[in-house]
Structure 1
Amino acid sequence: MAVRRSYFQTAWVVQDLATAIPRWLEQALVGPFFVLPHSRIDDAVYRGSPVTPDISVAVAQVGPMQVELIEQHDKEPSPFTVELPSMGLHHHIAATTDDLDADIEHYASQGVEAVFTGLVGDARFAFFDTRSSLGFMTEIMEHSPAVEELFGLVARVGAEWDGSDPIRMLPG
């Protein structure tokens, strides 16, 4: 288990991506956003039960940090079904790992449950309910060439962004 972890992402759950993205573009000067509508999560389990939440995500890069905005379109139980203020709610930070099972054991040894697990592409992930100790959840995702390629693209485009084409769609 690593003594220190590098977090690459901070995420917000929002009521509506179409409203939230322009706010982030105009007020925080973060962009461009890459949007994945109705993102698929395979083998999703929330608090022990299989789930199929309908979510859309948007990601942008600002310096070394990725900003993720998440909108859930249905009422399916998930970590994203929370009471939301109009501007959204800080939800989680995320890091990658080489050994998700070891991370699950690490958090379990501290009494922190992996409340949401699944696959994005070929990358396994787990959300840990660290809200009582940190004020937000923690996501740990296994390294994956496909996911790292996508995140690399977001980072490169973000570093070179000239303000044009601020919202870009990703294939679903």
Structure 2
Amino acid sequence: MSKKIFTKVLQVGIVVDDVEAFVKKYEEDYGIGPWEVKFYNKENTKVHQEEKQFSIKVGFANLENVQFELIEPQDETSVYAKFLRENGPGLHHIALDTNNHDEVCQEMEKRGVPVIHSGESQRGTFTYLDLRKELGFIGEIYK
């Protein structure tokens, strides 16, 4: 067995076309909530190593020890807008905890796993790893 790279699931990130409508559905139909909705103007982020700025509306709610994040793009420049155009609303990423963000990034680089998106968030430095070929999803890790 190899070394444990990811230690737990932190968050499920879902791209949506209307945060308020999805919040209502999650609360009323599934009992998931309460929700906190915020707007973010993201700067100093990189998408495939290219600087990008974009805006998103985000809803956050916790279900036991996992956070749900509903992400509504507010412009056409983000990875979330691209995802929504290509796939419609749906699971975008799973955020995973690690013992060492930088070591995991180095290990993923050795394995040929590309970084899709990176920057700063309320949790600190974040990195989206394209784990779709290996694990079937985009992974997000924090520092």
| TM-score bracket relative to the smaller structure | 0.7 to 0.9
Sort the Cα spacing of 1:6 and 1:80 in 2 relative to 1 into closer, same or farther, 3 A.
farther
Aligned length: 139
With the length of structure 1 as denominator, give the TM-score of the two structures: 0.73
CA-CA distance at 1:112 after TM superposition: 0.6
Q: Could you tell me the percent identity over the aligned residues?
A: 25
- Match of 1:120? 121
Match of 1:75, SS state, is coil
Q: Distance in 1 between matches of 2:20 and 2:79?
A: 21
Equivalent residue letter for 2:63: V
- Contact 2:71/2:80 (<8 A) preserved: no
Sort the Cα spacing of 1:7 and 1:29 in 2 relative to 1 into closer, same or farther, 3 A.
same
Matched, 1:102 2:103: yes
Q: Distance in 2 between matches of 1:42 and 1:97?
A: 25
Q: Distance in 2 between matches of 1:92 and 1:76?
A: 18
- Contact 1:14/1:84 (<8 A) preserved: no
- Match of 1:65? 66
CA-CA distance at 1:78 after TM superposition: 2.0
With the length of structure 2 as denominator, give the TM-score of the two structures: 0.86
- Contact 2:72/2:80 (<8 A) preserved: no
Match of 1:54, SS state, is strand
Q: Distance in 2 between matches of 1:18 and 1:32?
A: 12
- Contact 1:10/1:93 (<8 A) preserved: yes
Runs of 5+ consecutive residues of structure 1 not aligned to the other structure: 143-172
- Give the superposed CA RMSD: 2.0
Q: Distance in 2 between matches of 1:6 and 1:122?
A: 16
Runs of 5+ consecutive residues of structure 2 not aligned to the other structure: none
- Match of 1:31? 33
- Match of 1:10? 12
Q: 1:102-145: per-residue Cα shift (whole Å, max 9, x none)? A: 11111112211111010114711100011223232100011xxx
Residue correspondence of structure 1 range 1-172 to structure 2 within 5 A = 3=4, 4-37=6-39, 39-82=40-83, 83-85=86-88, 88-97=89-98, 99-121=100-122, 123-142=124-143
